[in-house]
Structures are given as C-alpha cells and as structure tokens.
Amino acid sequence: MFGGAPELVQARVHEQNKLCDVRPVTSKSDEQRVRPAMGVGRRAVSTPVCKITCPDKTICFVLGSSRRMSELTQEERAVLDSVDNVAVLNMFICYWDVLGVRPTHWAHMDCYDPKDVDNLYTELLAIKEDKILASRLIYRFVNCRDTAIEVDGFLTELGVEVSRFRRGYYFERREGPADEFGRAMLQCGSSITGLINIMHILNPGSEIRLVGCEYGHDPGHFYDLPGQVTGMDDDAYKAMRDRMWEGFGILSEFGVNIVDCNKAHDYDIPVQWELPRKELLDGFEVSFE
C-alpha cells in the first residue's frame, strides 16, 4: 500500500560542506487551512469526496506541467490529490488549484538565472501563504548547486523549511542516477529526470508513473494564459525534449521502474527511449460519494 513518509535521510551537501536533513515537514491541521484569494484568470477546482482503493505496492506519481494535464479526468485528479508520493516541479505549486491537485513533493531545480530565481521566490511565497497547499506538501527540495546568492536570503526571509540537494548538469551523461543524496541527481537535459531520481532515492523499488511530459511539439504549460508564448523556439524545444526522454531511458536502464502514463504522444518515441505504458490509475478503484 501507499506508505507513510520515509525515514530521515542524512544528505551531505559537498558545496556547502555541511549536513542537511531530507525530511518531511509537519502537516498543519485542517483548522489552520486558509485559501488565499484566487488570481486573475484562475479558477478553484473542487474535488468531490471519493473512496480510493490503492494497489498493494508503492507507487510514485511524477507530474510534468504540459498542457495535456488539463485533460486529467475527475477520477485522476481525485487520486492525485489524495495519495502519497505525488511529485512536481517548479511553478506547478503556484497553479495546483487550476487542476485541483496538491502534490506531496516539490523540487525547484534551477536557481541561478534571474527568471528562475524570481520564480523560486514566487513558489516559496505560495508555500508560505497557501495553507491548503502547505498542509499536504510534506517534502520541499531546493537545489544548492550553482545557486544565486539571493536564494539563501529568500529562505531566511520567508521562513519556509526546505531540504537542499544537488542537481547534475544538463548535458551530463554519467554512470546512472544517484543512489543517495550525497551525489548529484541525474539531470540529462530536463529537471524532471532529477525529480524522478529524488523519488527513486526516497522510495527505492517503487513504480514511478510519469504524466504531463509527452514526446511532442508543444512547450506550453497547463497554466499558461490563452495565446501565451513560451519563448522557446521549435529547435530548442525538440533538443530539450530529446534529452529529457534520453534521461528517462538512462534511468530505466539502471533499474528505475518508470512507467509512461502520458495520454498521448505527438510523435513516435525512439525505440531506445521507450518506456512501459499503463493507464495512470491502473490498479486503482475510485468511487464518488
């Protein structure tokens, strides 16, 4: 079954020459949950009360932020908003209410470029102010490799408790994923490979179901405004997409049990990067009251 929080993992961060704890954050009680005002163009998603029967094994969900995330069914959203081990990246947590899916794990990978640093502040502020989100978000990870000096100041100013880790470099092709937090997470062209590596360390041997990162042509996000331009040209996105799926292939080759649960792909995935496919809720039973 879906287990509770993993035991405390001690992770040595070499650049900072200190020990940092990778641990869950104590959840807030229901009485402390207060929803902040919705932003312009946002909509609150109310998930009906439901009964969920889970498979008898540990399953982790790793969610990308592609536009197709808006195609999640009511049952899929209900499960992802309820079960343990639901991991996301970056700005997802600022827009979780668009989908009605609160993650349990979040990581911010890029902490140097000014835009990424600004995004990190926005994400930390969301954790601090959105009690509904924070009550379920028990693992918060922020990369400490090649970070801007402002990052430590943000953490001190906002008082958000996080665990630090090191991500690998985007073009790194090494002997496989990290097996403990003293090593850099496998990056290989995309932050989501590093997130999968984190979930593999926290839940060794688990099945990792991947959705929201198709082998496609659209770099947009489920939270983009209509007509919003991503700023990434076709060639740059194709190169990033290919490295991302190469990273999935590397993780799979080294025994990480990744399952492709994306609803559809725009193109055929090269055979060397193909993953086993399943429905996102394979083995689950969901009934609404």
Q: Domain residues of the chain, as ranges?
A: 49-288
3-state helix, strand, coil in the chain (%, to 5): 30, 20, 50
What rounded mean pLDDT belongs to the chain? Answer: 83
Average of per-residue pLDDT across 127-140: 95
Q: What is the pTM of this model?
A: 0.84
What is the chain's alpha carbon radius of gyration, rounded to the nearest angstrom? 18
In angstroms, the first-to-last Cα distance of the chain is 22
Distance CA 188, CA 7 (A): 28
Q: Is residue 47's pLDDT more than 90?
A: no
Average of per-residue pLDDT across 178-192: 88
pLDDT-above-70 percentage for the chain: 80
